[in-house]
Amino acid sequence: MAQPERGAPSRTGDISVFDRLSPLYDQLRPATDPSTLAPGLARAEREIERVLDVGGGSGQGVRALDVREGIVADAAPGMLRRAKRHGLGAVAADASRLPFAAESVDAVIVLDALHHMANPESVVAEAARVIRPGGVLVIQEFDPTRLLGRALVAGEHLLGMDSVFFAPGDLEAMVRGAGLAATIPRTGFEYLVAGVKPR
């Protein structure tokens, strides 16, 4: 298995960076196109009504989906304030220790955020824990093996971010290791890995 691209030797995640960016986040980040997530969400074997957006910032991802309940879990206070202003449930949380009951959501989405988190394996395991049987974990990430991906890795490290990027096959293996049936429903610079919890 290829090793992930490494940032700083000791990982702390990028919470403070995003807390500082929160006032401008919605202007800087393009709105989420729900069609980009559809191939991953379509893997679910149950109706998706309750979605947890982990590391979801202002909730752009879950706001793009037509679901009954969207919740943002994020560690940056500024981002949570923005999510609440958008009318979302917003919970201060370490993504590697989610304050949600086991099997309490239909889907977890982690959009362009896993590479910023200090313990990605624990984040994936926690996501698997809170998903109901038949539910799905959808992770959208950037491929560091592509030219544009390598440029992004270098750019984030120059900005002082503690990012760790995974090649699609490595992330698929991580999701499978958490006990989910993993696939890669979309490839490219920005790819998707989906993991379905067995019934």
**Residue-range domains of the chain with CATH:** 15-24+46-196 (3.40.50.150)
Q: Which residues contact 5 (CB under 8 A, 6 or more apart)?
A: 144, 153, 163, 164, 165
The pTM of the full predicted model, rounded to 2 decimals, is 0.86
Q: What is the mean pLDDT of the chain?
A: 87
pLDDT digits (tens, 9 = 90+) for 154-184: 988 887 788 899 999 999 999 999 999 999 9
Give the distance between the most distant pair of CA atoms in the chain: 44
Q: What is the pLDDT of residues 119-161, one digit of tens each?
A: 999 999 999 999 999 999 999 999 999 999 999 989 888 877 8
pLDDT at 31: 73
pLDDT digits (tens, 9 = 90+) for 59-103: 999 999 999 999 999 988 888 888 898 899 999 999 999 999 999
Q: What is the mean pLDDT of residues 35-39?
A: 97
